[in-house]
Structure 1
């Protein structure tokens, strides 16, 4: 006779809807926050909002948005997003520049995740550039 676990099986994560809390951590629904950028309805007006929307795109597994908002000089040909990666929280630690008055900006952040049950965090200092009035991600450096 086999033992059964008393813990219920977890199904797939619920789909992100316009009414869902935005994964980026701002107090707005996804559709009013990062969803409007993902749909192409609007562009992120600051480097920080682009960073937040890119984090939300990782949560949503939106490869097209990630590639679209990546600087052409550093953008990979394709992305292979790991379905075992579950992003669980974003913390913005510092920003420099990145407003409508700047052409460059940086965002330092910590993104928490669970990967195949193990918890971890990605701590990165990211660089952004405004091209033709639109913010794009250039590159990131891991912070120890």
Structure 2
């Protein structure tokens, strides 16, 4: 069994796999953030689009096949718990590509609609 890309310590099948398969939904904004990172790492553009707030969602998510995502650090969370309707997750994600190593730092906003957490936007 492979380890989950979000580095939760669980296997992919125990962590982000059920979210990506649609058999579970994220219970917190951080869990959605982790699953979206794992979707980048796994090349799952459909999941990214499906978990994007319709008011800010692009028509498609374009992934760079040459970019390998290998580490996610959650730096801070505000709200985003099981009883909240909004949340913020600040993170840094690390990647490698032919052009070298890099990272993305972002503070992401989330909202819950009809019991499902959605990514709204990010400042980075």
Q: Same fold (TM over 0.5)?
A: yes
Match of residue 91 from structure 1? 73
Aligned to 2:62, the other structure's residue is in SS state coil
TM-score by length of 2: 0.98
C-alpha separation between the residues in 2 aligned to 1:135 and 1:29? 22
Report the count of equivalent residues: 124
Q: Which runs of 5+ in 2 are unaligned?
A: none
**What value does the CA root-mean-square deviation take over the aligned residues?**
0.7
Q: Which runs of 5+ in 1 are unaligned?
A: 1-18
Instruction: Please identify which structure carries the higher helix content.
Output: 2
Give 1:100 shift: 1.2
Q: Which stretch has the larger CA shift, 29-38 or 116-125?
A: 116-125
- After the TM superposition, list the runs of 4 or more consecutive aligned residues in structure 1 that deviate by more than 3 angstroms: none
Give 1:117 shift: 4.6
Q: State which of 60, 77, 85 in structure 2 corresponds to 1:78.
A: 60
TM-score by length of 1: 0.85
